[in-house]
Structure formats: structure tokens, C-alpha cells
Amino acid sequence: MIEDDFFIGLASPGTTKNTMGSLVTRANVEKISQLNILSFSMSCINYAPDGLNPPHTHPRTTNMFFVLDGILNIGFVTITKGDAFMFPHGLVHFQKNHGDAPAIVIIAFNSQHPHLEKAIKVPEFQEYFMRRKGC
């Protein structure tokens, strides 16, 4: 084993005090060079209460979510601690913390570098959720 086999920090919670109320920590080929050509990577997302990971798509990769803690709305479905959910490649998706406490998920991708494309303008999506919350 060599240093390039490790990434320390995937499970370390970071600050969610930002516009979206979420933080994505990636463990991909940029952090673990040994992932090159292995078609695998992971991410961890921390969500503040009402935190949002805005609509996006991964055009070249499927991803599998596992909820470590919290309650998330992922479109028409609500998932909670211990639940898993799969997004096929190219499907537009988002996550919103539906609970009053922080939430955290681990995501596995079948790509060493899961490209991300934003689906819509983020301020418009935030405005929509703010209206729904009655803010």
C-alpha cells in the first residue's frame, strides 16, 4: 500500500454554513490517484436542516445513495437513515434535508470521476423551496 491509496476526510463533517446548507466531500481520482481506470469513487454529503443539493445530473455515471443519518427528500420519495436509493446515469436529481437535524449520506459512483452538470439555475430552485416553506 502506498500513500496514493488513501484519502482521509471523507467522514469528517465540514461546514454547511453556506448558501445551499450542504457540503460535498469527494473521494475521486483527484484525491486518490489509484482510482484511475478503476471506475469507482465515493462522496459524502453533509446537510444542515433544510439543506439542499440542487438539481444536477451525472451524464456518465450511476450513483447509489446510502443515508447514514437524517431524512431526505429526493424528488417524489423520502428516504431515511438506513435507506439506499439509486440514480441511473443522466437522471436529473436533487436532495433536500427534510428533517430538523443535520443529515449525512455516502454515495458510490461507477466512475473514477463522476462529472456533474447543473440542471437549472440554483437561485430559482432556492426561491421555489423558500416559497414552499413559507419564508
Nearest to 39 by CA among 111, 117, 133: 111
- The residues facing 107 across adjacent strands are 43, 65
Is 93 annotated to bind ligand? Answer: yes
Q: Phi first, then psi: give them for residue 113, nearest 5 degrees.
A: -150, 85
Is 98 annotated to bind ligand? Answer: no
End-to-end CA distance of the chain: 52
- Angle subtended at Cα 87 by Cα 119 and Cα 32, rounded to the nearest 5 degrees: 90
Is 113 annotated to bind ligand? Answer: no
3-state secondary structure of 101: coil
Is 58 annotated to bind ligand? Answer: yes
Residues in binding site for Mn(2+): 56, 58, 93
Residues in binding site: 53, 56, 58, 93
Residues in binding site for oxalate: 53, 58
